[in-house]
Amino acid sequence: MAVFFIAKGFDVLIVEYLLWALAPVFTASGFATGILVLDRMAGTRTAKFLPIFIWPLIGCAIGAIVVYWFGLMLIVFGMFVGGSLGMVIREIALRAQSIRDKQNT
């Protein structure tokens, strides 16, 4: 957030919008890194970063777009909810895939 406040002082509109557009990317990378570390520490899965990153990126982007119209500062809340929902949907999809794999063997 500090970067965005500093950029606000430059009064360069394109830089400000570019940074706000990159906010979901940085937030999603935090979500994905957390899950990657957890999976590695628990030894449950050996997933790579990009397949994990896609889920919160979609959620964070949708959350940011939905909340953007209420104010730029509120996209933090939209990204939090959207990224969290993206990770929940990912876990449900992985669980369903695991159940299907067990049934097929």
Total domains present in the chain:
1
Q: Contact at 8 Å (CB) between 46 and 72?
A: no
pLDDT one-digit tens code per residue, 36-82: 998 888 887 777 899 999 999 999 999 989 988 887 778 889 999 99
Tell me how far apart the alpha carbons of residues 81 and 65 are, in angstroms, rounded to a whole number: 12
Segment of 1-10, 13-22, 27-36 carrying the highest mean pLDDT? 27-36
Global confidence as pTM? 0.81
**Tokens representing 25?**
């990317």
Q: Tell me which residue range forms the domain holding 36.
A: 2-104
